Amino acid sequence: MAYPLPLSCSPRVNQVLDNQLTASTMATNLLAPVKTEQEILENSMLEDDPNANCAATSPPLESLGPRWGPQHKGAQELANLYSTGKRTQECICVGICLTLMAVNLIFILFHIKLQNLSAIMVAAFCGIVTADFGSGFVHWAADTWGSIELPVIGKNFLRPFREHHIDPTSITRHDFIETNGDNFMVTIPFLARMVWDFITLSEDDVQMKFTWNCYVFLLAIFVAMTNQIHKWSHTYFGLPSWVVFLQEMHVILPRRHHRIHHVAPHETYFCITTGWLNWPMEKLHFWTALEVLIEAVSGLKPRDDDLKWAKKGT
């Protein structure tokens, strides 16, 4: 006598169960926190708790020397590499950039046509998203590759990234010039080109390029403001209420959101302007895929230099 197969042994039912399992695993992966509270507590500096009353470190900090903060030997060495020449470059860049922004704003207000407002708003939004992507890309590249020993860019441009991981709150002690000098510098050629366009083009040509220029202007403003926004995301005391409001509305990088990047080994959530792209890029494994590719081609190991500096505290 033939017995019917148990339900779970039927190939069709198994297929359906497999599909359901895959769908539920995908949903679980998608909804899983990028870093758990435990990982945040164990592997990042408690910036909102300067006395580290609730640190879940094991073994205790005293036996290892500080892993983070101004007392970290690596952080002190990096802070001392900030030179007068670098400071001068930053002052000049901030001055030129602010002037160009003001001139462009006057030109934009002079030429704006309100009937094009919706296209201008879309362009502005795209400019902000591009700035967030750009902040992530530059931050990822500087955190992950290169070393302080590299000529010119090592001490001048990679140094702040290394310092920031081992002393995350040092940025809150930097003034406006040190915080923003490099980002302001990046925008100068684009803002200068815009001024040149406004001066030399005919009214028709200005109108043809107007939406594009609004995109570039918002992109430049958000690129320039990125490190200021980043500084605010590390400031747990005394922030103006309008900044806290923008953070809570997630218009700019929120503090709890940016803590995810600061969990060692600092391998995710690199976008620091609005942070809007962090979650989708993490779920797409964007940074990991790039690192695997670069490591396969070049043989370089991601975050080698960053790890070297982190170990200097112990």
Site membership for Zn ion, residue 182 (CB under 5 A): no
Residue range at the interface with Zn ion (CB under 5 A); choices 61-69, 139-147, 151-159, 200-208:
139-147
Number of residues that bind Zn ion (CB under 5 A): 2
Structure tokens at 115: 């009937």
Gap between the Cα atoms of 260 and 278, Å rounded: 10
Gap between the Cα atoms of 16 and 113, Å rounded: 57
Nearest CB to Zn ion, comparing residues 143 and 282: 143
Site membership for Zn ion, residue 163 (CB under 5 A): no
- Write the DSSP symbol of residue 165: H
Nearest approach in angstroms of CB 280 to Zn ion is 19
Query: What residue has token string 């990991």?
Result: 288
Nearest approach in angstroms of CB 210 to Zn ion is 35
Instruction: Note whether 42 and 56 are within 8 A (CB).
Output: yes
Site membership for Zn ion, residue 305 (CB under 5 A): no
Site membership for Zn ion, residue 47 (CB under 5 A): no
Residue range at the interface with Zn ion (CB under 5 A); choices 24-32, 135-143, 292-300, 302-310:
135-143
Nearest CB to Zn ion, comparing residues 130 and 226: 226
**214-253: which residues touch Zn ion (CB under 5 A)?**
none
Query: What residue has token string 């302007």?
Result: 273
Cα 238 from chain centroid? 22
Nearest approach in angstroms of CB 266 to Zn ion is 5
Residue range at the interface with Zn ion (CB under 5 A); choices 82-90, 207-215, 236-244, 262-270:
262-270
Residue range at the interface with Zn ion (CB under 5 A); choices 17-25, 81-89, 97-105, 265-273:
265-273
Q: Which residue, among 52, 87, 90, has the nearest Cα to 169 in the 3D structure?
A: 52
Site membership for Zn ion, residue 143 (CB under 5 A): yes
Nearest approach in angstroms of CB 142 to Zn ion is 8
Can you spell out the DSSP letters for 174-210? S-HHHHHHHHHHHHHHHHHHHHHHHHHS-HHHHHHTH
Gap between the Cα atoms of 233 and 58, Å rounded: 27
Nearest CB to Zn ion, comparing residues 120 and 257: 257
Residue facing Zn ion at closest CB distance = 143
Nearest approach in angstroms of CB 261 to Zn ion is 6
Instruction: Note whether 96 and 188 are within 8 A (CB).
Output: yes
Gap between the Cα atoms of 312 and 72, Å rounded: 8
Nearest approach in angstroms of CB 281 to Zn ion is 14
Q: Which residue, among 287, 314, 279, has the nearest Cα to 145 in the 3D structure?
A: 287
| Dihedral, 254, 47, 70, 181 alpha carbons, nearest 10 | 10
Residue range at the interface with Zn ion (CB under 5 A); choices 45-53, 73-81, 136-144, 208-216:
136-144
Instruction: Note whether 39 and 263 are within 8 A (CB).
Output: yes
Residue range at the interface with Zn ion (CB under 5 A); choices 99-107, 122-130, 264-272, 294-302:
264-272
Using CB under 5 A as the criterion, which residues of the chain lie in contact with Zn ion when the complex forms? 143, 266
